[in-house]
Structure 1
Amino acid sequence: MSGRLVVIGGGQAAFALVAKLRALNDQRPITVIAAEASLPYQRPPLSKKYLLGELTLDRLLYRPETWYAEHQVDIRLSTTVTRVDRVAREVTLSDGSKLGYETLAFATGATPRRLPASIGGDLAGVYVVRDYRDADQLAEEMKPGRRVLVVGGGYIGLEAAAVARSLGLEVTVIEMADRILQRVASAATSAIVRDIHRSHGVDIRERMGLHRLIGDNGRVSAAELADGSVVPVDVVIVGIGVTANDALAHGAGLETANGIIVDRYGRTSDPATFAMGDCAVLPWQDMRIRLESVQNAVDQAEAVAAIIAGGTNPYDPHPWFWSDQYDVKLQIAGFGLGHDETLVRPGQREGSVSVWYFREGKLIAVDAINDAKAYVTGKKLLEAGKTPDRKVLADPQSDLKALLG
């Protein structure tokens, strides 16, 4: 084993882990097992600039191939782990070979949920966006005048809707819940984002389910909605959430619950095994949550790298997220789960606004729409554990910097 670290996964968390270990001058042997044929690359741009054709895959790579050789990182592409033997401390690979380890790290991410075949989910023209190949296929479909149905009004679905509309396609978004973004944002933020999309000509239908997709010669041609109406469509984009890739860990006897359960140090129920990123269920403010974001993947992976290298500091998440839709940048600091009050503050520039979340009087999150000052202020307040003076915050003429005093 010679102290070898085996990393299962080839995404953001996997790369951040090995890069941080090498930055810490940790020279142990590292092998990364990556299922995709590509070197690790950024995924958020897939549903935005990459889909628009503004970025190519080589520009999404975290590092070129030479970096891995220079830093003595053995990366095996188009390879998966089929079995983990925690007693023997070895993994079996898809080519049948076995590889021993001293430390094991899961960075397996999550997989988008697909529509069942029973309602037409297997028809041609129905897409999820998980990797660059999905985005490449979808990009070929994005022709002006075509009709797109987006199933799911979360961030991924809305970002795809914005791209499609920007390219001149007719877009309908359906969301089963009472409102778009219901799982991740306040009613106030949902209303702001809804208005933005409708101003761009997107048909948003909330409290609307999908009954079935209708095919013509094996390709989707229409959608029958829950109210019985039929919408002609050429392309369907599915954004109905993800499922953590924890089956391999579960099969190895690790504790899982729609994700691999870890402690504050990223350790699983096996002290020699860690998990990080979208596949990890971590403790946070007396809760167990999965944080599906690039920020968490990087920060948690770097914290785990420090632990593996001999550090003792636990991972203390400070969540932040972002979403780009049209010319609108939505920046989110904190985690609004369980909020019982919101305050909407107009920004200083036209079209800028922020939504501040409170739980039992305490600030827990802020959504900033084209309002970088509100985002930065909110993020600093959250990191300091401070709750702003409500009167100052409610006055749009007040200086946000005063809240940091």
Structure 2
Amino acid sequence: METIVLVGGGLAGAKAAETLRAEGFDGRVVLVAGEPELPYERPPLSKGYLLGSAERESARVHEPGWYEANDVELRTGVAAVGLDVAARRVELATGEEMAYDRLLLATGASARRLPVRGADLDGVRYLRTLADADRLRADLADGGRQLVVVGGGWIGLEVAAAARSRGNAVTVVEPQPTPLHAVLGQRMGEVFARLHRQHGVDLLTGTTVREIRGAGGRVTAVVTDRDVGLPADLVVVGIGAVPHTQLAASAGLEVDNGVVTDHALRASAPGVFAAGDVAASFSLLYGRHLRVEHWANALHGGPAAARSMLGQDVTYDRVPYFFTDQYDLGMEYSGLSGPGDTVVCRGDPEDGGFIAFWTSDGHVTAAMNVDVWDVTAPLQALVRSRQRVPAAALADPDAPLESLVV
């Protein structure tokens, strides 16, 4: 009987297991999850669960009985610590060695640590795991806390929104000129800057954290290059994520900002595949390797890897997609913009819903819809088409989005 081992208990690994069974694979499926949790997805951790509007179980990919019902051997709380790609064996932290015919690396990523003095004080938090979310939700639940968020990226801003919504005082420290500057640029970054300031967040841009201070082992203040001490009961660090490539690298697989794969999610050793946050996959659409950390990549990458493991003809080149909910604002983003792109807006970013398009030489590289819904499909079609579209047509609310792709 053939054995497929899936290493990683996140969305990519769980959806790969689901797809293997849905596609008729009747061999052995083993899902190795390093955390002592049923496989879960991450968006609720910084959104509904942290806000208190969703229960813990909402993060689960499947109900508890699904794994047994579908004959998936689920090993929770057990890390994979060794990989021999020549012998096709994976070693678990228990000392067990498991033979495989095909292996999926869906090991995800971990929160990047803040490299300053005092970062190990009690009260310094990260948000990556369900256990992290449990602790932070309890921290913020009663309100009245003084929270400093280090980093104005997606995690930092979602935590800030949840904390403010629960009655906590929030300061965000971001070294770039706006939050989300690297992703959205100056103009669209200002949209989120205004949003948070309107909700009472003290947003400090162009500011760098130098030190975290404490008393009795507990955080009390954050020192920046502009302030000798921002009061803090809690500090949440959101400065990016680092892919878990150690297992792959130790086995001699090609690693470059992730486990390198081809367009079919095949890694550099026979029988080994990678998906989700850890995979740096070759995109035929973009002509280069991409590592995408967002939910949609795990949601679709796990099933694509499963089909590839079953020998199906797979080309994984989806348009990158992510979404956020902050206060009463909802946003979806499709594509991959560049720092020199021009932004064209359909609607007024300062007054209600709008769509922003990023263009390069007339081609739409990315699009973001803010409080405008059911437009993801035509926006992704526009990005994928690589057509030149006049800026006037992009900005015209009377021009149907579907009509822009010929």
Q: Same fold (TM over 0.5)?
A: yes
Matched, 1:121 2:119: yes
Deviation at 1:329, TM superposition (A): 0.5
Counterpart mapping for 1:38-57 below 5 A: 38-57=37-56
Cα-to-partner distance string for 1:192-232 (whole Å, 9 max, x where unaligned):
11111111111111110001011011110111111243211
Q: Aligned partners of 2:394 and 2:203: how far apart in 1?
A: 32
Deviation at 1:25, TM superposition (A): 0.8
2:68 equivalent in structure 1: 69
Cα-to-partner distance string for 1:79-102 (whole Å, 9 max, x where unaligned):
011111112211111111111111
Aligned residues: 403
Supply the AA of the counterpart residue of 1:119.
R
- SS of residue paired to 1:59: helix
- SS of residue paired to 1:343: strand
1:104 equivalent in structure 2: 103
Cα-to-partner distance string for 1:326-358 (whole Å, 9 max, x where unaligned):
010011011113552111221699511221011
Task: Identify which range, 323-332 or 85-94, moves more after superposition.
Answer: 85-94
1:323 equivalent in structure 2: 324
8 A contact 1:172–1:203 mirrored in 2? yes
8 A contact 1:347–1:371 mirrored in 2? no
2:211 equivalent in structure 1: 212
1:145 equivalent in structure 2: 144
Q: Aligned partners of 2:274 and 2:104: how far apart in 1?
A: 5
1:134 equivalent in structure 2: 132
8 A contact 1:381–1:388 mirrored in 2? no
1:81 equivalent in structure 2: 80
Supply the AA of the counterpart residue of 1:363.
V
Q: Aligned partners of 1:365 and 1:175: how far apart in 2?
A: 24
Q: Aligned partners of 1:265 and 1:7: how far apart in 2?
A: 16
Q: Aligned partners of 1:349 and 1:180: how far apart in 2?
A: 16
Counterpart mapping for 1:329-368 below 5 A: 329-346=330-347, 351-368=352-369
1:201 equivalent in structure 2: 200
8 A contact 1:83–1:92 mirrored in 2? yes
Q: Aligned partners of 1:102 and 1:375: how far apart in 2?
A: 38
Provide the TM-score with structure 1 as the length reference: 0.95
8 A contact 1:338–1:359 mirrored in 2? no
Deviation at 1:149, TM superposition (A): 0.3
Q: Aligned partners of 2:374 and 2:95: how far apart in 1?
A: 54
Deviation at 1:304, TM superposition (A): 1.5
1:30 equivalent in structure 2: 29
Q: Aligned partners of 1:150 and 1:301: how far apart in 2?
A: 32
8 A contact 2:281–2:291 mirrored in 1? yes
Cα-to-partner distance string for 1:149-201 (whole Å, 9 max, x where unaligned):
00001011000000011111111101112221122112221011111111111
Task: Identify which range, 392-401 or 35-44, moves more after superposition.
Answer: 392-401
Q: Aligned partners of 2:290 and 2:370: how far apart in 1?
A: 25
1:276 equivalent in structure 2: 275
Q: Aligned partners of 2:255 and 2:350: how far apart in 1?
A: 46
1:173 equivalent in structure 2: 172
Q: Aligned partners of 2:268 and 2:209: how far apart in 1?
A: 40
Q: Aligned partners of 1:373 and 1:186: how far apart in 2?
A: 24
Q: Aligned partners of 2:160 and 2:251: how far apart in 1?
A: 39
**Alpha-carbon RMSD:** 1.8
- SS of residue paired to 1:172: strand
8 A contact 2:164–2:199 mirrored in 1? yes
Provide the TM-score with structure 2 as the length reference: 0.95
1:300 equivalent in structure 2: 301
Task: Identify which range, 183-192 or 70-79, moves more after superposition.
Answer: 183-192
Supply the AA of the counterpart residue of 2:196.
H
8 A contact 1:353–1:370 mirrored in 2? yes
1:154 equivalent in structure 2: 153
Q: Aligned partners of 2:350 and 2:210: how far apart in 1?
A: 43
- SS of residue paired to 2:160: helix
Any unmatched runs of 5+ in structure 2? none
Cα-to-partner distance string for 1:47-98 (whole Å, 9 max, x where unaligned):
1110122222223211122211121111101001111111221111111111
Q: Aligned partners of 2:326 and 2:402: how far apart in 1?
A: 27
- SS of residue paired to 2:40: coil
Q: Aligned partners of 1:396 and 1:128: how far apart in 2?
A: 41
- SS of residue paired to 2:257: coil
Q: Describe the shift of the 1:397–1:89 C-alpha distance in structure 2 as closer, same or farther (beyond 3 A).
A: closer
Q: Aligned partners of 2:360 and 2:350: how far apart in 1?
A: 28
Supply the AA of the counterpart residue of 1:138.
L
